Amino acid sequence: MNKYNLMLPACKLYILSTTSASVGDSGEPFGSIYNLERACPFCGTAAQLVGPIRSIGLSKAKKDFFDTLGGDLMLSEKLKQALEDAGLMSNCLYPVHDTKGNVLPLYHINPTLTLPKAHKDSTGLKKADQCKNCKRDGHFNEAIIGSLENDIPTYVAPLQLNYDNVDADFLNSSDAFNTWEHFGISRLKKEGNYVVHYARPLIIVNERVKAVFEKLKIKHTEFEEVTLRLPADSFFN
Ligand SMILES: [Zn+2]
């Protein structure tokens, strides 16, 4: 092994997402508290949730893994326990409350670490109506428009996120990360019919987390591998 192999992250990383319909809602409108100290002062992107997330319509949620309309990813008690037994996600999972502050048997995935901006050669990402100050919200999955004439359906393009030179120690220091890019539009203030909402990042997990999901045969889960590139010269030493 050469010394540069030591720089390689121990794990592959994947975008974690669900393919099933959202359940309930969570976040800003239900009494969750956010700290805006490190958020964009114009749109609120990257606001930090303080304490448990508050939710609505989740008291009878049966799925092991799902997202809410607010864009928050949730796990069942069973899946959280399996991850804990494997020694994973210890600093990434937090309690979920209803609007009255009652604890639900669910866990919210809320990593503390954030990856750098993905390289501009990443594909499947579209930008629209971004905050002019931070340009961090307003990311969307790119839709590939089909053709009725040729019987080609419209579909969501696969998301390929590419990263250059991310420090391996950093990548090995957590089982889950936020992306720098946030999806949807952030709104710091209520405007007309629009409520306060902070765009959410994607959640990136390592292959150890993926293995637990697969062992438990968690349904409607998608893992899209992220490309981690090292400096070109590290391959020649
Ligand atoms: Zn902003």
- Tens digits of residue pLDDT in 23-57: 999 999 999 999 999 999 999 999 999 999 999 99
**Contacting residues for 145 by C-beta, under 8 A, at least 6 apart:** 154
- Domain housing 88: 14-226
Residue 42 in any domain: the answer is yes
Residue 129 in any domain: the answer is yes
Residue 233 in any domain: the answer is no
pLDDT reported for residue 69: 97
Residue 6: pLDDT over 70:
no
- How many Å lie between the centroid of ligand 1 and the Cα of residue 110? 20
Provide the number of structural domains found in the chain. 1
- How many Å lie between the centroid of ligand 1 and the Cα of residue 119? 20
Residue 115 in any domain: the answer is yes
Residue 1 in any domain: the answer is no
- How many Å lie between the centroid of ligand 1 and the Cα of residue 231? 31
- Tens digits of residue pLDDT in 159-216: 999 999 898 889 999 999 999 999 999 999 998 888 999 999 999 999 999 999 999 9
- Tens digits of residue pLDDT in 60-119: 999 999 999 999 999 999 999 999 999 999 999 999 999 999 999 999 999 999 999 999
- How many Å lie between the centroid of ligand 1 and the Cα of residue 161? 21
Residue 142 in any domain: the answer is yes
DSSP string, 143-171: EE--BTTTTB--EEPPPB-EEES--HHHH
Residue 5 in any domain: the answer is no
Residue 7 in any domain: the answer is no
**Contacting residues for 46 by C-beta, under 8 A, at least 6 apart:** 38, 39, 40, 114, 134, 136, 182, 198
